[in-house]
Structure 1
């Protein structure tokens, strides 16, 4: 047996123990397959010693999502059969194997069938159920490459049905909407994971599919995501333009909840420009629209799963934080945390770090450090969270170098959460 030095090096770079790597891989396997992973510390030990030279497909995909490297870069040695097959085909087979071969094999069977099968409402409902699963995974952890890959594959499945089945015009429109929904989730996962080039590519495909569907609800999501993407890229002009596309859609005029989300995201963009008056004006409109919205009205799962008063306060927090309105930001942070749904772990973590930044801006260094230290292990390595924590530490050093809070934070950061 030959020890796996590349894997050991990568773990050292991430400051990951065997137990931590096992936990992260099991989480990715659950996102990918819907079932729990069974990787243990002993499994990782076998990888490191070379006892296991080529893990199963779902584990290889999970490792790539966790460590950001392909299996061969991590020191694993493929079988001779794998070496004779193109990388793209291997990855396709890996995904089919990982998900149990159900969804994509069914699509492939449809494509190969000499008699196109009839696509109906049951197929649409099945795809919508899978979309709800993607949404749940995103709200729990978010930003994962596995979520992005999974959503992209499900979009391909929807399009396979579109291309090789027979259906009414209504069903065809619904298939395009389902495909656009999956790609929009891949886009959001890429934004959340700071893979901005991939997010831009997903946006182009999602916008095309949504236009084919004629569904203004999914068009709203895609253009609203585009506004968020440009906001994260520091391009407020493009962000406002993209969000204006969303706000001009029929659904935003028809449903106050969509209008509220559009105004709230506009406020977050205005925060980048430091225009406090525009921030307050947009937030006032967002609150007024949300107060008018009928909570029992039927809406797409993606908006009902996350947008409420707590999310409005979270966007208000982001807006005021960007504009340097520290006290307003802190007030909205506390309101958001008080109303957050338990399932939204990633959002709660981001709001918590933003609260710490707001406290830091007010010079309350000890409280800011105490707040920043309250971070669930499940989201401590989320790309957005890590970036915000890194910025927090840098700002703390600038404002209070060599202070007791700065030393406490440095010790905590060194021993508790890891950079990527």
Structure 2
């Protein structure tokens, strides 16, 4: 068998493909069949099977350099917890020499967090929040146990805030809301102690996002406004644009169309001013594509689904093959728009596209969004053939 020739167990193939071990077992036993040619091509890519052997024509979906690179990255990502969360974390050259902290050690932590953000954009936060938590614990030990001067103390509190903000975001994407809130609270305290207003704004905008998600739009609006006040002065334009977008989303959730669109206009104008800036790793995806996606989310809350679909398509076109986690999230968002517009066939077609993208991503937030779409469209038209086929496809991939 091809899987065994690659030295993979059913569980390992399942992790690589995004399926459960039991689903892989049923597929191999013939109890289930791969749903359509997109699923077959996915296995052909993973296992290096010539497409013709699966009854598929050679075409643009055959394995090329980009797919090979993505596969390698995913294999490396699946090994990340063992590499970073276990004994190898202890081997990082992070321990202080004679209980003194150096600037080089602080830079090393920042480099590690930047690498985690890059992985997050590719795959999602499910397998990252624990690693970020270990880094946070390390910095906290430095603060409590080591010797340093006032300048280094501010640096340590700043890097603690950065790590906590990252851990909070990864936990949020992993669907761990209580854990995310705890990290955000720690990050905000550290940013205050670092006397860094931009860092405080960064954490506040994360908290605004979470508050909106949890159905607390007034809290989200207050946090976004607080973040905007904190950005007055020398904050990065991209951060200011992101905070303005958070305000717009809070207004949209509250049903205030005018206020939401005014805030979005400010966000777009500010982002345009930041085009030549080199963003930090955590803001790397704050671009025109992401802004369109956030604007689409506001339009959904305001009930303007055709406009939301148009903006979401713009986001997906701009992202292309970059940022797979965000691409999956917005693909589901586009399917939701079509469903709300009453176009069930197109909604299901886009939903199938999302299911094919699913194996690349480990983001509970995105999976939850996909499950919610499945449940909504099933309730809307349980007997429609296209809906039944989509639900069957969901079952094959474990959704």
Which range, TM-score by smaller chain? 0.7 to 0.9
Deviations along 1:352-374, whole A, 9 cap, x unmatched?
A: 10011111111111111111111
Alpha-carbon distance between aligned partners in 1 of 2:192 and 2:80, rounded to the nearest angstrom: 29
Q: Which residue of 2 aligns with 1:46?
A: none
State the Cα distance separating 1:340 from its structure 2 match. Answer: 1.6
Among candidates 187, 194, 205, match of residue 206 of structure 1: 187
- Are 1:232 and 2:213 matched, yes or no? yes
In structure 2, the CA distance between the partners of 1:341 and 1:210, relative to structure 1 (3 Å rule), is: farther
- Paired with 2:204 and 2:22, the residues of 1 have a C-alpha distance of 38
How many residues of Structure 1 are paired with residues of Structure 2 in the alignment?
336
Provide the residue aligned with 2:123 in structure 1: 141
> What is the deviation of 1:335?
1.2
Q: Distance in 2 between matches of 1:307 and 1:282?
A: 16
Q: What's the offset of the Cα at 1:17?
A: 3.2
Secondary structure, in 3 states, of the residue corresponding to 1:143? coil
* Distance in 1, Cα, partners of 2:170 & 2:99: 34
Alpha-carbon offset, residue 325 of structure 1: 1.1
Q: Which residue number corresponds to residue 166 of structure 1? A: 147
2:91 equivalent in structure 1: 102
Q: 1: CA distance between counterparts of 2:115 and 2:215?
A: 31
**Alignment counterpart, residue 155 of structure 1, candidates 131, 136, 149:** 136
| 1:6-405 map, 5 Å | 15-17=22-24, 29-33=78-82, 95-97=85-87, 99=88, 101-103=90-92, 106-107=94-95, 110=96, 115-117=98-100, 119-144=101-126, 146-250=127-231, 254-293=235-274, 295-297=275-277, 299-303=279-283, 305-340=284-319, 342-375=321-354, 376-379=357-360, 382-405=363-386
Q: Separation in 1 of the partners of 2:76 and 2:338?
A: 33
Give the CA deviation at 1:254: 4.5
TM-score, with normalisation over the residues of structure 1?
0.73
Task: Decide whether aligned partners of structure 1 residues 100 and 209 sit closer, same or farther in structure 2, where only a CA change above 3 A counts.
Answer: closer
State the alpha-carbon separation in 1 of the partners of residues 154 and 321 from structure 2: 34
Return the alpha-carbon distance in structure 2 between the equivalents of residues 381 and 148 of structure 1: 12
Select the structure with the greater relative contact order (CA < 8 A; seq sep ≥ 6): 2
Deviation at 1:296, TM superposition (A): 3.2
Unmatched 5+ stretches in structure 2 = 1-17, 29-42, 44-70
Secondary structure of the corresponding residue to residue 353 of structure 2 = coil
CA distance in 2, matches of 1:17, 1:212: 51
Alignment partners' CA distance in 2, 1:329 and 1:12: 31
Alpha-carbon distance, 1:124 to partner: 2.1
State the TM-score, normalized to the length of structure 2: 0.76
The CA distance in 1 between the partners of 2:318 and 2:380, in whole Å, is: 31
Q: Does the C-alpha gap of structure 1 residues 202 and 370 become closer, same or farther in structure 2, counting only changes over 3 Å?
A: same
Deviations 1:301-322 (A, max 9, x none): 322x121111111111111122
Relative to structure 1, the CA distance from residue 316 to residue 156 in structure 2 (aligned partners, 3 Å threshold; closer, same or farther) is same
Unaligned runs of 5+ in 1: 1-10, 35-57, 59-94
For 1:78, the equivalent position in structure 2 comes to: none
Aligned 8 A contact 1:379 1:385 in 2: no
3-state secondary structure, aligned to 1:214: coil
Q: Give the Cα–Cα distance (whole angstroms) in 2 for the partners of residues 12 and 302 of structure 1.
A: 29
Shift of 1:349: 0.4
CA distance in 2, matches of 1:379, 1:135: 16
Does the 8 Å contact 2:118/2:281 carry over to 1?
Answer: no
Aligned to 1:248, the other structure's residue is in SS state helix
Distance 1:31 1:330, change over 3 A: same
